[in-house]
Amino acid sequence: MIIDKASLTGPESFFVFNQAFNIAGGCGRTPATVKGREWRIEGIRLLLKGDNLLDLLHRQQDCLLEVVVNKELLPGLFADAFAHRMHVVAGLEDFQAGTLENCRVMDIDGIATIVSMGTNKCTWKSRVYTLPETTTISSAAWELATSRRTPDDSFRYSVKLYHSATAQSGTPLENELPLADQLPPGKLRRADGLNATDVRRLQIEFSADVLNDSYIHELHTRFEGEGHSKFMDASFGRPLLRAVNLLERVPSAYQFHSLNEIMVKCTSTTFLPASSPPTVFTGLLKLPARLTHSEVQNGSYEYIELRASNALSSCEAFLVGHEVIEAT
């Protein structure tokens, strides 16, 4: 139930650096939103000043202005939503294209899932994927079908990323990067700060030591005459892996090296004075984003950060949008 909606206003909506509204040469960041409040951002109102802004219309070597939108893209995994591309290995096609040992692929609650066949160790190794060009994998997160409240003595699992800088098929993947090593189901399902560079080909390996089995029931429909069907295949197993997500760092769409690039993303732009050379620029930088409450983990939470170069003599900015207050 939404109980209130109001425009963002006041000092809280401004970006502040060293207790000053001028963030040129520094950066400003929004505070963490409290539970029950959500910021629905439409854009950032900019006020930029310089001795001669015509010089900044040309692309600069250093970044002139950058906006970072830090979002919880996956449970517990925070990253800039406009500066990352996500590679998802999941689904029936991906799972069956790999090799399965002591496990199989089943439809659990409508989602393709790797399921162990009894106890002992089971392993799934994906096929080798070749990317169009070398890239950097910065983070990873995976989804298990089992709740994090599952007892730790039920199973332990490991996730590994094998990668290579060469695109030639058939050659071994010389780099091995452990993402998880014998973790119980209750641990966080992510790996930060990987910085795996020069990745051109990659392969994922998932293994689990299943100690306690569980009952599962997968339904298949087989028609036996008009209006009749039969449900079958009830067995024992442990539902395990559903997806592995790899985050690739890419150039941000909100990293500007010139005033001309900023103008493309802005509406209602104005240069002052009208006579040359202009020293003041105003505009509304379009930025659709939502900031919601999230538990701070290792200093990470959902925020918007604005970084401004000292090529500007002054940079003042505030958020344009609404704050929605909901009953909890």
Contacts 24+ apart (CB under 8 A), 14-23: 14/316, 14/317, 14/318, 14/319, 15/306, 15/316, 15/317, 15/318, 21/316, 22/314, 22/315, 22/316, 23/306, 23/307, 23/308, 23/315, 23/316, 23/317
Beta-ladder partners of 23? none
**Integer Cα distance of 191 and 75 in angstroms:** 12
Query: Residue 133 is encoded by which pair of tokens?
Result: 């060009």
What integer pLDDT is reported at residue 211 of this predicted model?
A: 85
What integer pLDDT is reported at residue 119 of this predicted model?
A: 79
Q: What is the DSSP letter of 97?
A: H
What integer pLDDT is reported at residue 83 of this predicted model?
A: 95
Strand 214-223 with 229-237, pairing: antiparallel
What integer pLDDT is reported at residue 226 of this predicted model?
A: 46
Which position has the token pair 């939470």?
Answer: 301
**Integer Cα distance of 267 and 129 in angstroms:** 42
Please write the tens of the pLDDT for every residue from 288-324. 999 998 876 666 899 999 999 999 999 999 999 999 9
What integer pLDDT is reported at residue 214 of this predicted model?
A: 65
What integer pLDDT is reported at residue 296 of this predicted model?
A: 66
Which amino acid, 284?
L
**Integer Cα distance of 277 and 279 in angstroms:** 6
Rg, the chain, Cα only: 25
Query: Residue 215 is encoded by which pair of tokens?
Result: 């009952």
How far, in whole angstroms, is CA 10 from its chain's centroid?
Answer: 30
**Integer Cα distance of 11 and 97 in angstroms:** 55
**Integer Cα distance of 181 and 207 in angstroms:** 10
Which amino acid, 327?
A
**Integer Cα distance of 270 and 221 in angstroms:** 65
**Integer Cα distance of 17 and 14 in angstroms:** 10
**CB-based contact 50:60 (threshold 8 Å):** no
In the predicted model, residues of the chain with pLDDT beneath 50 are 219-234
Question: pTM value?
Answer: 0.84
Q: Report the candidate in 206, 35, 36 with the shortest Cα–Cα distance to residue 125.
A: 206
**What does residue 312 show for φ and ψ, rounded to 5 degrees?**
-95, 140
**CB-based contact 283:265 (threshold 8 Å):** no
What integer pLDDT is reported at residue 328 of this predicted model?
A: 67
Q: Report the candidate in 14, 10, 24, 22 with the shortest Cα–Cα distance to residue 63.
A: 24
